[in-house]
Amino acid sequence: MNRVRQRTIFRIVSSRVSWWPAVCLLLIATTNSLAATINIPTEAATVQGGIDLAGDGDTVLIAAGIYHERINFDGKAITVGGPFLLSGDSIHIMSAVIDGDPNILGPADSGSVVRFVSGEGAGSVLCGLTLQKGMGTSNNGGGILCSQASPVIRDCLIRLNVVSGTGGGMYCKEGSEPLLLNCRFEENRCGFFGGGLAANFSSPILDNCIFEQNLAQAPFGMSAGIDFFYSNPILTNCRVSGNVAAMIIGGVSCYESPASFDHCVFEGNQATFAGGLYCYGDPPTVTNGTFVFNDAPFGSAIYSEGCSYDLSNSIVAFNQQGAGIVAMFDSIPSIACTDIYGNEGGDWVGDISAQASINGNLSTDPLFCDALSSDFSIDSLSPCAPNQNSCGTLIGAVDPKCSGTLRAFAYPDTLHTFDVNSVNPSTLLVVVGNFTSGYSVEEIDLASLRVNDSLVPDSCAVLTGHPDFAGQVVVMYMNTGSYLNQYGWMWDITLQPCVVTGLFNDKSDIDLTAMVTLMGHVSGDVNNDGSRDISDLVLVVDYFFNNGPSLELPDAVDLDRNGTIDITDLTLLVERMFSTVQPEPLWERLLMYRD
């Protein structure tokens, strides 16, 4: 399930870096008296022409426009930037574009849009530009290539770069230590590692950067968002969201890379093994992280192999398919002050189960202000808010922003298929509360309340209080079977929205969403006994090859969910029946195809 939403480019996540545009302006105003500003295209026709004219301390100032070229800093300590250098307005970042489109420039072995390959240091600055459509140098580093270089790159948009190798947006190698501030990597693609960024034997520092909708494409795309290989990165206030890998890691891969993640969000990343974060070997440290809506069969949020990482003050919630955290092959993560809740494959399960009730850990709804719009700030009443938990600190990446926001919860928040036809019908409670400002309970038109558009509650009641809310609440009572019937036939485990709509007396809308985990029928459970085992396989083989009796649950055989029962489904059933639950180790595959 992809919960990613488009957002305004360069939304500020932290005020700690908001002074950087002023530094860009200061660079022009306060460099030594011999420094020059070379204007493009009036004083040089091309950006590279301006760089060729510039000396250390100079500024190459690019006017708005699209410049079809590829540039090389040639070791110079200069600043290259667009109109953003003068205005500090992020809207100008997209006005000056360096475009390395091979369809216009032709293919080239040195096809990176920007190259830092001559020992550049912190005096080499790239600021306020869009870099796009690069094809990489020797198939690596489409947007930016850093080799034995440590430039400063800030307030840049790196997008639409495509490489068949590593580092679609950017590739750092051979001891590079670049500093990236307020940069956005968007819709870049790689053939193997790091659709957004890849770092091999390097130590990049990233603050307030966004990696969104990057792709590690089929058939060998291993890691989509960021790939660290024997590197020592530091990431602060970064967001990694909506990245998709054909194979292993959607968000960030750390191979023997003791990365530091502080106040970072991992959202809606997808892959075949790890959704948000993967680590092997030298362990990373995650502090105040938020992992939400990531989607992968093994470790939907975090998957580790031989990697005993530290996870503290973090939220791991509403991730899809696999358990939120999976630790394999002698991984022993140390988890403290962390909320793991609402993950489809389980929360405190497997090797981390013993830590569920120690070190200030918890499993409760984090009360995001607006998760469906990718707003992961939390309610001031959230158990993850400071002074609301035993650790006395913020849990998660984003501070409280809303206070007592009107919201809905469902009790219980996990429902089973057998409740549909239960002999003793159970009752589902949907509670609406937090009337701490604005409207009150008395102003709700109770007769207008509906669940999932059409279900009318059996009854409603107003209570004076509830432990999960502040003040009065409205409780809607309904038959659990009636509620489940709205979803039709359900398979396996899915996380579904429970939507409450209605009206206040002044006709203002009520539109609230609670999340409910639905435990459906087991795929492959043909005889409907609650498990998938050899008896199901015998029935299916008899049905296919011996004109055996009709299947009690024929849809259970349609494992590929294409509406047809055929030999492909039988093959999938055999694979699921006899495949080991424990996946094969990934680290050997992650050593392949490295340059």
510 and 535 housed in the same domain: no
Which two structure tokens, joined as six digits, stand for 414? 């996990």
Q: Which helix (H) or strand (E) holds 278?
A: strand 277-280
Closest by CA to 286, choosing from 247, 256, 258, 251, is 258
Asked whether residue 176 is domain-assigned, the answer is no
What pLDDT, on a 0 to 100 scale, did the predictor assign at position 421? 63
Which two structure tokens, joined as six digits, stand for 74? 């040639």
What pLDDT, on a 0 to 100 scale, did the predictor assign at position 249? 95
Half-sphere exposure for 526 (CA within 13 Å, toward CB): 23
- Distance separating alpha carbons of residues 418 and 431, to the nearest angstrom: 23
481 and 509 housed in the same domain: yes
∠ CA(434), CA(512), CA(444), 5° rounding? 60
Tell me which residue range forms the domain holding 546: 523-595
423 and 499 housed in the same domain: yes
546 and 507 housed in the same domain: no
Q: Are 298 and 305 in contact (CB under 8 A)?
A: no
What pLDDT, on a 0 to 100 scale, did the predictor assign at position 418? 64
What pLDDT, on a 0 to 100 scale, did the predictor assign at position 562? 65
Q: Are 182 and 206 in contact (CB under 8 A)?
A: no
**What's the whole-number mean pLDDT along residues 484-512?**
79
What pLDDT, on a 0 to 100 scale, did the predictor assign at position 238? 98
> Which CATH number is 462's domain given?
2.60.40
440 and 511 housed in the same domain: yes
562 and 465 housed in the same domain: no
532 and 595 housed in the same domain: yes
Write the DSSP symbol of residue 557. G
* Number of independent structural domains in the chain: 2
Closest by CA to 415, choosing from 502, 487, 317, is 487
Comparing 14-18, 339-343, 367-371, 437-441, which segment has the lowest mean pLDDT? Answer: 14-18
| DSSP codes of every residue in 227-276 | EEES---EEES-EEES-EESSSBSSEEEES---EEES-EEES-B-SSBSS
Q: Map 26-50 to HEC letters.
A: HHHHHCCCCCCEEEECCCCCCHHHH
What pLDDT, on a 0 to 100 scale, did the predictor assign at position 429? 86
Which two structure tokens, joined as six digits, stand for 96? 């000056």
Phi, psi of 337 (to 5 degrees): 45, 50
Closest by CA to 296, choosing from 343, 341, 256, is 343
Of the candidates 459, 487, 519, which is a domain's last residue? 519
Asked whether residue 103 is domain-assigned, the answer is no
Asked whether residue 61 is domain-assigned, the answer is no
pLDDT at 420 over 80: no
Of the candidates 472, 496, 519, which is a domain's last residue? 519
Closest by CA to 114, choosing from 149, 91, 155, 142, is 142
Asked whether residue 27 is domain-assigned, the answer is no
Q: For tokens 């009752």, what's the residue?
A: 427
Asked whether residue 348 is domain-assigned, the answer is no
Which residue would you say has higher pLDDT here, 564 or 386?
386
- Distance separating alpha carbons of residues 585 and 304, to the nearest angstrom: 10
> Which CATH number is 574's domain given?
1.10.1330.10
pLDDT at 29 over 60: no
Of the candidates 476, 499, 519, which is a domain's last residue? 519
551 and 499 housed in the same domain: no
487 and 529 housed in the same domain: no
**What's the whole-number mean pLDDT along residues 481-493?**
74
585 and 528 housed in the same domain: yes
422 and 467 housed in the same domain: yes
Asked whether residue 431 is domain-assigned, the answer is yes
Asked whether residue 478 is domain-assigned, the answer is yes
Q: What is the pTM of this model?
A: 0.79
Give yes or no for a cis peptide into 41 (omega within 30° of 0).
yes
Count H helices and E strands in the chain, helices first.
7, 51
Comparing 34-43, 432-441, 450-459, 571-580, which segment has the lowest mean pLDDT? Answer: 571-580
Comparing 7-11, 50-54, 172-176, 330-334, which segment has the lowest mean pLDDT? Answer: 7-11
Q: Are 559 and 572 in contact (CB under 8 A)?
A: yes
**Beta pairing, strands 285-287 & 302-305:** unpaired
471 and 549 housed in the same domain: no
- Distance separating alpha carbons of residues 22 and 181, to the nearest angstrom: 13
Q: For tokens 């990233």, what's the residue?
A: 206
**What's the whole-number mean pLDDT along residues 185-210?**
98
**What's the whole-number mean pLDDT along residues 482-510?**
79
Asked whether residue 463 is domain-assigned, the answer is yes
Radius of gyration of the chain (CA): 27
